């Protein structure tokens, strides 16, 4: 234990329960009735603040890494079983329904929906850089501004240009409607 922590413990022996609670998380307790009167007191409190912020950042990084691993695992499961789940869903669709509901979990506490949705086809920008370069060359004709920085009006302008002239803008493809299997 360092000199500052020893001095603090000597000064605040009555805070044993609070110390035990906070130390169980790897952090030394700092009672709110502490009065900062010396450099040691200030150093102790600032050190406690830094320790907590550092610990919080470390925990966030660990949680993010764990969440990413779990997402990858879910993606692997979905990829592996997608064909079977899609087949099961198709077999159990009733009438014109596009989805089915199932109860998941051992206790039946969760509801999942498996089904199909239509992704509309049409003109799609597949290579943004090529499309932006092409659009910059056509700026006056396409009637949109700041083609290098404004992405939103590009797709609409390209679609209008394609419908009017039949010319496919660079970086774009014409896609058919597709059916997408989803799990929610």
Over residues 41-57, the pLDDT tens digits come to: 899 899 889 988 988 89
Separation of alpha carbons 112 and 21, rounded Å: 40
- Residue 3 — very low, low, confident or very high, per pLDDT cuts 50/70/90? low
Q: What is the mean pLDDT of the chain?
A: 79
Q: Is residue 60 predicted with pLDDT exceeding 50? A: yes
Q: Is residue 176 predicted with pLDDT exceeding 80? A: yes
Higher pLDDT: 176 or 62? It is 62
CA distances from 75 to 61, 67, 109 (A): 21, 12, 22
Q: Is residue 103 predicted with pLDDT exceeding 50? A: yes
Q: Is residue 24 predicted with pLDDT exceeding 60? A: no
For position 22, what pLDDT does the model report? Answer: 52
Token pair recorded at residue 36: 């900062």
Higher pLDDT: 140 or 135? It is 135
User: Of the ranges 22-31, 80-89, 92-101, 123-132, which one carries the lowest mean pLDDT score?
Assistant: 22-31
For position 109, what pLDDT does the model report? Answer: 75
3-state SS class at 125: strand
- Backbone φ and ψ for 106, nearest 5 degrees, come out as -65, -35
Q: Is residue 148 predicted with pLDDT exceeding 70? A: no
Overall pTM surpassing 0.85 (yes/no): no
Q: Is residue 37 predicted with pLDDT exceeding 90? A: yes
For position 146, what pLDDT does the model report? Answer: 44
């Amino acid at each position: 234990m360092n000199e500052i922590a020893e001095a603090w413990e000597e000064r605040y022996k009555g805070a044993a329960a609070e110390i035990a609670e906070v130390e169980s998380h790897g952090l030394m307790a700092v009672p709110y009735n502490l009065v900062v009167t010396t450099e040691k007191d200030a150093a102790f409190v600032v050190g406690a603040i830094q320790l907590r912020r550092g610990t919080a950042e470390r925990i966030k990084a660990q949680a993010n890494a764990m969440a990413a691993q779990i997402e990858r695992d879910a993606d692997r499961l979905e990829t592996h079983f997608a064909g079977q789940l899609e087949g099961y869903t198709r077999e159990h669709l009733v009438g014109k329904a596009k989805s089915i509901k199932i109860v998941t979990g051992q206790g039946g506490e969760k509801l999942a929906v498996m089904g199909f949705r239509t992704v509309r086809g049409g003109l799609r920008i597949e290579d943004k850089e090529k499309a932006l370069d092409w659009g910059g060359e056509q700026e006056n004709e396409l009637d949109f501004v700041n083609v290098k920085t404004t992405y939103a009006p590009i797709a609409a302008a390209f679609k209008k240009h394609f419908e009017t002239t039949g010319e496919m803008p660079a970086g774009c493809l014409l896609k058919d409607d597709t059916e997408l299997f989803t799990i929610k």
